[in-house]
Amino acid sequence: MTGGRWREALEQRARDVLPAPVLEYVLQGARESVTTAESTRTWASARFRPYVLRDVTEPDLSVTVLGHRLEVPWGVAPTTLQRAVHPEGEVAMARATAAAGSMMVVSSNAGTPFTAIAESGVHWWLQAYLPADRTLAEPMLARAVEAGARAVVLTVDTPVVGTKYSAGPSVWETVDPGIVRVNLDEDYDRLPGAEKALDLGPHDIGWLAEITGLPVVVKGVLRGDDARRCVQAGAAAVWVSNHGGRQLDRAAPTAACLPDVVAAVGEDAEVYVDGGVRSGLDLLAALALGADAVFLGRLPLLALVDGADGVAALHATLREETREALRLAGCRTVVDTHGIVLADRGNHL
């Protein structure tokens, strides 16, 4: 997978292979998809002031997230329906991601048992939605802890599921229900209190940390003041995300929100970002704006069409692009990138 148009080729491959409802689910945003479309363009508006006369013989792409060293500055964000994209689903994603020295966040709606994902050797965290009755989440959380999850990612931007406009049958009407949500108790959806919590609060961060014994990452934050509240409530990291534009349409691009969150958090917690990152140059922009790591959602899911080999090729291409970007920016390490984005351009950055 080489050349400047590899991302278009990746999407075209998915269009050729995936059933229409699955493809639509992967690509769609909420309502008119304003946020989804805007996210990528905003990263592309970043302009750099590179250093020169720096030794960039061996760029170091590594970062540390919650004490764990990654060989690359990105991880795989949580996505469901991976087994609808490829029969091996999360297992293929995990194998390729582990081999790349990256990590993955596993959706609570995953179609593969946590134990099978863990057997790949990948470093992984659990993504969780909390139900109205918090106790209903406890069995799933316990299974994740037992299977070796190293953190819990609490998604906080989904009190209800954002409206999507469908061109045909919903993906949920067409896929085998046995390839999703296998880590939740049987009949979970029919239990009283299983609906998503409308009353999430800072106290839920402490509750999750206490019940799992794991660090808690709060995902779905776009404001500095909210980020500060998360840290004060005990969050180990804050994840700047607009859910890939799949929740509140017209939500601001994450590239525009990241600097405010980084400033509000300071040195008290780590900050991650996702949303529209499509290349090594986008990764460079995110790191330069202060992200400790970047997470990718749609790209790995599209690459998964070709199983572990497709995901491995994606990681390899991003590694090549990011290494080149660091060299051309005069940066030997990820930390060296901080501050090289030209501020006040009027294009959100």
Would you call 243 a catalytic residue per the annotation?
yes
Catalytic option among 86, 123, 243, 315: 243
Residue 133 assigned to a binding site: no
268 is in an annotated binding site: no
244 annotated among ligand-binding-site residues: no
Q: Does 49 appear as a known binding residue?
A: no
339 belongs to an annotated ligand binding site: no
Q: Is residue 181 annotated as involved in ligand binding?
A: no
Torsion of CA 242, 247, 252, 256, to 10 degrees: 10
Establish whether 246 is an annotated binding residue: yes
In 148-297, alpha helices (H): 171-174, 202-212, 224-232, 254-265, 280-288
Judge whether 315 is annotated as a binding position: no
Spatial neighbors of 118 by CB under 8 A, at least 6 apart, are 124, 147, 148
Q: Is 266 annotated as a binding residue?
A: no
**166 annotated binding-site participant:** no
**Sign of dihedral through CA atoms 182, 209, 334, 282?**
positive
Q: Are 286 and 277 in contact (CB under 8 A)?
A: yes
Is 25 annotated to bind a ligand? Reply is: yes
Q: Is 274 annotated for ligand binding?
A: yes
190 marked as binding residue: no
What element of type H or E holds 39?
Answer: helix 34-44
Contacts for 10-19: CB closer than 8 Å, 24+ residues apart: 10/299, 10/302, 10/303, 10/314, 11/302, 13/302, 13/305, 13/306, 14/85, 14/302, 14/305, 17/305, 18/85, 18/305, 19/84, 19/174
- Rounded-to-10 torsion of CA 324, 325, 330, 331: -100
Positions marked active-site: 243
The annotated binding site is made up of 25, 107, 127, 129, 155, 219, 241, 243, 246, 274-278, 297-298
Binding-site positions for glyoxylate: 25, 129, 243, 246
Residues belonging to the binding site for FMN are 107, 127, 155, 219, 241, 274-278, 297-298
